[in-house]
A = this chain, B = another copy of it.
């Protein structure tokens, strides 16, 4: 492999810890090294081909559809990516990339065109989600970033839609930042969860960045730091007279529920109402029923029961099938990591979406990878449009993937113009609009394609002209 010939020297022990916060000017280095070595080989061999590359997903980890998400961050990267002097000097010091090639990167501006399905669109395996046309050397510069951001957000938006479906209209909140794969993952998981139908997140920064509603309850720590559980509940209710949720499982959930009732009655005497109690351990089904019984006996039916604790679509589906009176769900690890794991069967796989970004056209000529050794990895050549067909009930019934220039007989074209000749020609919708789009689209998708287990694949017809080219 090309190793950077002059290895960066290891520094001495340091008293200044590194943050690894990414700055905008460093985005250009969020790149797999082969994209730069290929760039240099392209430069030396004067390869100025214009290509079209497709981002698509061959196989969906769970279920039979995807909720596309991440486009806004991808476009931000593509339009703002620059190689600063600082970056280029650093690369030059490493020694392997040539001065003339690095000099050529100084003027990098993406001046090509991008079509994509809007965020929140439902898509299926092998459908082009993003279609980038530009100089080959330019397009490969942001491949790693595009894949990383699209793969992750689409994974999470899809997972969220499954969890929200299982919750049957009861709100779902992202509680996953502490188990997310780094800070970026925490923030982007909150964004993508919201797109997939979550009602909010626990992560304040996601409120700041993306105007996502953020929510909070209390931790066991708060209870443990008071002489008694009732003391803790009182302290919290005093701080938030009209907006209190009490965590009742620190010591004994049913005792906790009784203590919550004491404080709820004290709040009533002040003209306020306890909003909710929260369960975070144990057998949520039996505990939620017992707690509802205790609240009912105390005439506190208005107090909601919120639950968290290793939840996912399978657990929530099971709880509600068994008539659990839980009113809302906080979902952490398995949402924010897009857990590819069936908690009923124990079967699992990598928690990642294996989307790829592949050349499909070069200088107007369709190209593809044949992959004799692994037919599943073959690429469908040619620049494409997806046409989605709707039946007389307004349900989606078939997608046709056609060559871009092919005359079509019907259906809605899904890929729309985002960037033209390097200029943004698209208004990014706000997240509420994106969430609404995903919701509407999912309603048009037949149940059989959405059930949590053994869903039926949606019919996607790859036009025969594409296959033979």
Contacts and interface: CB of A to CB of B under 8 A. Distances in A.
B373 A218 contact: no
A404 interface: no
A457 interface: no
Contact of A7 (B7, B53, B213): B213
A221 B368 CA distance: 9
A251 interface: yes
B177 A151 contact: no
A450 interface: no
A4 B215 CA distance: 6
A51 B341 CA distance: 37
A433 B12 CA distance: 10
Interface string A22-56: 11101101111111111011111101010101000
Contact of A18 (B72, B181, B243, B251): B72
A406 interface: no
A128 B253 CA distance: 27
A133 interface: no
A235 interface: yes
B347 A350 contact: no
Contacts of A431: 10
A185 B333 CA distance: 15
Contacts of A140: 219, 221
A34 B202 contact: yes
Contact of A374 (B24, B44, B281, B353): B281
A10 B432 contact: yes
A427 B13 contact: yes
A411 interface: no
Nearest to A368: B224
A213 B178 contact: no
Contacts of A221: 38, 51, 53, 136, 140, 358-359
A76 interface: yes
B358 A2 contact: no
Contact of A207 (B4, B47, B203, B276): B4
B143 A29 contact: no
Given A2-B217, A339-B351, A184 B374 contact: no
A186 interface: yes
A192 to B, nearest CB: 10
Determine chain A's interface SS by DSSP, over half rule: mixed
A14 interface: yes
A94 to B, nearest CB: 7
Interface residues of A, number: 164
A251 B372 contact: yes
Interface string A45-77: 101010101000000000000000000110111
A30 B350 contact: no
A147 B186 CA distance: 11
B186 A185 contact: no
B148 A217 contact: no
A208 B90 contact: yes
Interface string A373-403: 1100100000000000000000000000000
A2 B243 contact: yes
A351 B428 CA distance: 32
Interface in A240-265: 240, 243-245, 249-253
Most buried by B among A212, A214, A278: A214
Nearest to A44: B239
Given A30-B186, A34-B218, A430-B14, A252 B21 contact: no
Nearest to A86: B208
A47 B217 CA distance: 18
A225 interface: yes
Shortest beta-carbon contacts, A-B, top 7? A348-B348, A282-B373, A33-B216, A182-B184, A184-B184, A34-B216, A41-B239
